[in-house]
Structures are given as structure tokens and as C-alpha cells.
């Protein structure tokens, strides 16, 4: 007897299956509302990539030993900030830094177990990744493929976290916790973590102008004052032992706005002679430029933050309406005289129709979070662009926001990725050159101008 023949699937079926596969692939690569799977894959990739870096790339000592020496003085009972020093000079960070790195001092066997410290910073990197991914998912601004490209092509940020062990990632992580809390309208908790971030490194103060406007546009005067009080109280409580020992020494050491940076390590002003780089009038000019840019952007920043406040009220009312509608649908299904199967069918149809409308509105509401995130990122970018000096580790101050910022401009997609690549090149060039320094300023200028053009529309 002849063997049975196996019929192949009709061509139309195979074609439909392929089309569905293509459509699903497009959705997960191009649609910002479907970032979840890509974020999960990138998280796992980052964990493995950083672990491989730790195990296979040599650690470079820059500041870790000095950090441990500075906190060792504190642990030995010295509370006078003027007396806390390391190999790189006196302690120049606020009190939160002292407490956090004192904990690391104990955990890493007085700072000697650098391998363990690297894995601790790997955990910090992954936490930072989770927080930034949450912002990307909430705002639905960046397409998945762009996040993949940016994540997999950046090398410098990994070395800053796990091969250098700077304190900048700790401060930035605390700030991103606060930013996520602000997006969720948890303002008091956000203020607490914002102040904790400032207590690690004062570069977080670059966000302060935007935060003040956010308070005034989103909160009552009483609540704004309360949040400002939380920020101040955190600084006071953390600094109290040092203020008691030497108040002027603490303020001068931890918040030294007149600090002169070493021209040797500058990334952005290699082309300037040392005498101009260290000149106080040059510093004053940069400060005036910083203030001028904030003034120029302020109407747009205020408009965005005010819109965030208004639309948040609408969103909260909508969420309450959704809960009420859900209860009403369930009650209506239970209260009719239909059979059990018919009840479930009718309830399911009603809920599906309702949730379809809810999903459409929620997709539009994702723009609400953009109205808060963009002003914070722009304010920080302006501060970085006007900094008296940028060191390599300062890349951590704004790296995680750059992808978001370029996708808020009207630049073409190739131009967006070119801009990101050029900034990465500037930070990978060591030592910095006249060309790389000028190029970094050009990139900052193009990005700031592009953001101004898109925000004023």
C-alpha cells in the first residue's frame, strides 16, 4: 500500500503567518509602546556584558583609594572636613558621600576587595538601567530599536561604572529614583531622594532650577515649601556632625562653587590655554551663559511643567472613572437574569470594548510624562554644556538622557545617531584633543538648539 501523502500548508497560510511575524517584529522594534520585551533583553545583556568586562578588563585606579582614605579618616573619628584627605587631595563631596562610601569601606574589607566593589557597582548600573527603562516605557518616546543601538554601542559608560568606581553613578542613581517618584506624583519621597543625591555630589544641583519650577507649577505654595524644607532638612541632618565640628570647613569643602579644576583632565576645554581655563572671568562668563540659556528656555520649561500638572489632574480623574466603570460593568453583568455563560460572555465583550478605549487614551496620555521628563533633562544638559570643565566620569551625569533628548528634536534619524556617536567619540578620546573638545561643544550646541526649536513649537 502506498504511504500516505503529507499535504504542505497552503501558500496563503504560510504567507499570512509570515506577515503576522513581520508585523509583530515591527511592533517590538519600532513601536515605543512595546518596549517591555526589549528592555528585559537589554537588562540581561547588560548584566552579562558588565560581568564579562569585570572579569576580562583590567581595573584602573583613579579615585577609589582616595575615597577610602577620606572615609577612613571619618571612621577614625575625624569630623573636621578640612582634615579629611586622600591621595588626590581634600574631601570635596557632601556628607551623604561619606556615609555611603563608609558602608562600602566595611563591605569591601576597608576598600581592599576591589573585585567585590566592582560587582556592587554592577548592581548600581543595573538599577540605573531599570529606572531609565521605566522612564522610556512611561514616556513612549524612544523606539525599541534605538534603545538597542544606543545601549549596545556605548563603551565609556560601562568603564565609568565598573572599571573606575567613581561616586558620580551613585549620585545619578539616587536622582533617577527621585525622577521616577516625581513622574508618579510622589513629590515628598522624590524630594527626599533628590536631596540624598545632592548629598553625594553637588552636580545634581544642575536640576534645581527645573525642580523649583516643577514645585511651583504642580504643587500648592504650602506643599512647595514643605518639599523645599524636606530637601533642606536632609542636608542638615546628614551634615550635622560635620557642621558641629567645623561649619565653615564643611560648607567650603563640600559645596565649593569656586573650585578650580585641573586642566590635565578636561574633556571640553583642551583647546584653551591653562591661564584662560583657570581665569575667574572666564568662569563668570560661563555662569552668565548658563543663566542666559535657562532664561531663554524658561517659558517652554514652565509651559511643559504647567501642562503636566493640568493633564495629571485629568489622568487621575480618568483612572477613577475607569475603576468606577469596571465596577459598573461587573455589577450589571451580575444583576441581569442571564445564565452564567451568557453573563461571562456579555461581561467579557463589555470589558474588552471598554479596555480598548482605555488603552487608546492611555497611549495618548503617555505624553504627560514627557512634559515632566524633558524639562529636567534639558536643564541638566544646559548645565553640563556650560560647565567650567568636564571630566570623563561626568559622562554619567547625562549619558542616560542623551538618547531621549535626541529623539525630542526634529533631527533626521541618521543625524540623531550621528550626534550620539560623536559625543561618545569625544568621551572615548583619551587624552582629549583640541578637535574632540571643540566637537563636544558643537554637539552640545546642536542638541540644545534642536531642543529649543522643538520645545517652542
Whole-number average pLDDT of the chain: 89
User: Which residue has cell 483612572?
Assistant: 319
Q: Indicate if the pLDDT at residue 349 is higher than 70.
A: no
Query: Does 385 score more than 70 pLDDT?
Result: yes
Which range marks the domain in which residue 161 is found? 34-256+268-456
Q: What does the pLDDT average to over 134-141?
A: 93
What would the DSSP string read from start to end of 279-334?
Answer: -HHHHHHHHHHHHHHHHHHHHHHHHHHHHHHHHHHHHHHHHHHHHHHHHHHHHHHH
For residue 350, is pLDDT > 70?
A: no
How much is the average pLDDT of 243-260? 89
Extract the C-alpha cell encoding 444. 552640545
Angle 224-227-229 from CA coordinates, rounded to 5° = 110
pLDDT for the residue numbered 440: 98
Mean pLDDT of 130-138: 96
User: Is there a domain that residue 18 lies in?
Assistant: no
Which residues lie below 8 Å from residue 243, measured CB to CB, with a gap of 6+?
236, 250
Q: Please say whether the beta carbons of 390 and 268 come within 8 A.
A: yes
Q: What are phi and psi of 339, to 5 degrees?
A: -70, 165
Q: Is the pLDDT of residue 230 over 90?
A: yes
Grid cell in block for residue 389:
570643565
Q: What is the pLDDT of residues 304-323, one digit of tens each?
A: 999 999 988 877 776 666 66
Scanning the structure block, which residue is given the C-alpha cell 518616546? 141
Asked if residue 190 is part of any domain, the answer here is yes
Give the pLDDT confidence score for residue 367 in this predicted structure.
77
The SS3 assignment for 85 reads strand
Mean pLDDT along residues 211-217: 98
Query: Is 75 a domain residue?
Result: yes
- Identify whether 5 is part of a domain: no
Instruction: Say how far apart CA 342 and CA 338 lie, in whole Å.
Output: 6
**pLDDT at site 260:** 80
On whether residue 29 sits in a domain, the answer given is: no
What is the per-residue pLDDT for 340? 52
Q: How confident is the model at residue 359 (pLDDT cuts 50, 70, 90)?
A: low
Strand partners, 85: 90
Q: Is the separation of the CB atoms in 182 and 372 below 8 Å?
A: yes
The least confident of 3-12, 66-75, 232-241, 393-402 is 3-12
* 323 contacts: CB under 8 Å, gap ≥ 6: none
Q: What is the rounded CA–CA span in Å between residue 180 and residue 371?
A: 13
* 22 within some domain: no
- Please report where in the chains the cell 575667574 appears, as a residue: 280
- Helices within 87-207 (DSSP H only): 95-107, 114-139, 144-153, 156-162, 168-183, 187-198
Q: What is the pLDDT of residues 65-107, one digit of tens each?
A: 999 999 999 999 999 999 999 998 899 999 999 999 999 999 9
Judged by average pLDDT, the poorest of 10-24, 214-228, 261-275 is 10-24
Q: Are 381 and 444 in contact (CB under 8 A)?
A: yes
Determine the average pLDDT of the residues in 342-353: 52
What is the per-residue pLDDT for 34?
85
Q: Is residue 23 part of a domain?
A: no
Q: Are 196 and 174 in contact (CB under 8 A)?
A: yes
Which of the four pLDDT bands, split at 50, 70 and 90, describes residue 29?
A: confident
Cell of 305: 511643567
Per-residue pLDDT at 381 exceeds 60? yes
- Smallest CA-to-CA distance from 121 within 172, 70, 75 is with 172
pLDDT at 19: 67
The region of weakest confidence among 132-146, 316-330, 379-393 is 316-330
Does the pLDDT of residue 52 top 80, yes or no? Answer: yes
Q: pLDDT exceeding 70 applies to what percent of the chain?
A: 84
State how many domains the chain has. 1
Is 226 inside any structural domain?
yes
pLDDT of residue 205: 97
Residue with more model confidence, 338 or 452? 452
pLDDT at 226: 98
Amino acid at each position: 500500500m502506498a504511504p500516505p501523502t503529507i499535504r504542505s500548508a497552503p501558500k496563503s497560510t504560510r504567507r499570512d503567518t509570515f506577515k503576522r511575524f513581520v508585523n509583530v517584529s515591527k511592533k517590538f522594534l519600532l513601536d515605543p509602546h512595546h518596549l517591555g520585551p526589549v528592555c528585559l533583553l537589554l537588562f540581561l545583556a547588560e548584566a552579562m556584558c558588565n560581568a564579562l568586562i569585570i572579569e576580562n578588563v583590567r581595573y584602573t585606579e583613579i579615585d577609589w583609594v582616595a575615597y577610602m582614605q577620606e572615609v577612613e579618616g571619618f571612621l577614625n573619628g575625624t569630623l573636621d572636613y578640612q582634615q579629611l584627605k586622600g591621595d588626590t587631595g581634600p574631601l570635596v563631596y557632601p556628607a551623604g558621600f561619606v556615609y555611603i562610601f563608609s558602608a562600602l569601606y566595611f563591605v569591601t574589607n576597608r576598600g581592599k576587595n576591589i573585585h567585590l566593589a566592582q560587582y556592587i557597582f554592577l548592581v548600581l548600573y543595573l538599577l540605573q538601567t531599570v529606572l531609565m527603562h521605566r522612564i522610556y516605557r512611561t514616556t513612549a518616546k524612544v523606539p525599541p530599536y534605538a534603545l538597542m543601538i544606543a545601549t549596545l554601542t556605548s563603551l565609556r559608560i560601562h568603564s565609568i561604572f565598573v572599571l573606575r568606581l567613581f561616586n558620580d553613578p551613585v549620585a545619578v542613581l539616587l536622582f533617577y529614583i527621585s525622577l521616577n517618584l516625581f513622574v508618579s506624583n510622589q513629590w515628598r519621597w522624590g524630594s527626599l531622594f533628590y536631596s540624598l543625591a545632592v548629598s553625594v555630589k553637588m552636580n545634581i544641583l544642575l536640576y534645581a532650577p527645573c525642580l523649583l519650577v516643577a514645585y511651583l507649577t504642580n504643587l500648592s505654595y504650602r506643599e512647595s515649601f514643605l518639599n523645599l524644607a524636606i530637601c533642606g532638612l536632609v542636608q542638615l541632618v546628614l551634615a550635622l556632625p560635620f557642621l558641629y565640628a567645623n561649619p565653615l570647613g564643611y560648607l567650603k569643602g563640600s559645596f565649593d562653587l569656586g573650585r578650580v579644576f585641573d586642566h590635565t583632565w578636561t574633556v571640553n576645554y583642551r583647546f584653551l590655554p591653562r591661564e584662560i581655563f583657570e581665569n575667574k572671568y572666564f568662569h563668570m562668563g560661563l555662569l552668565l551663559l548658563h543663566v542666559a540659556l535657562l532664561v531663554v528656555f524658561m517659558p517652554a520649561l514652565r509651559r511643559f511643567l504647567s501642562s503636566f500638572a493640568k493633564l495629571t489632574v485629568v489622568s487621575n480623574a480618568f483612572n477613577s472613572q475607569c475603576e468606577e466603570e469596571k465596577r459598573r460593568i461587573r455589577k450589571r453583568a451580575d444583576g441581569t437574569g442571564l445564565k452564567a455563560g451568557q453573563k461571562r460572555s456579555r461581561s467579557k465583550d463589555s470589558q474588552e470594548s471598554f479596555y480598548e478605549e482605555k488603552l487608546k487614551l492611555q497611549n495618548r496620555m503617555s505624553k504627560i510624562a514627557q512634559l515632566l521628563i524633558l524639562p529636567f533633562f534639558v536643564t541638566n544638559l544646559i548645565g553640563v554644556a556650560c560647565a567650567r570643565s568636564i571630566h570623563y566620569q561626568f559622562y554619567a551625569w547625562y549619558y542616560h538622557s542623551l538618547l531621549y533628548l535626541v529623539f525630542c528634536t526634529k533631527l533626521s534619524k541618521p543625524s540623531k545617531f550621528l550626534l550620539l556617536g560623536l559625543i561618545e567619540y569625544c568621551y572615548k578620546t583619551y587624552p582629549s584633543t583640541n578637535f574632540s573638545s571643540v566637537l563636544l561643544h558643537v554637539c552640545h550646541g546642536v542638541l540644545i538648539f534642536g531642543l529649543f526649536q522643538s520645545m517652542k513649537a
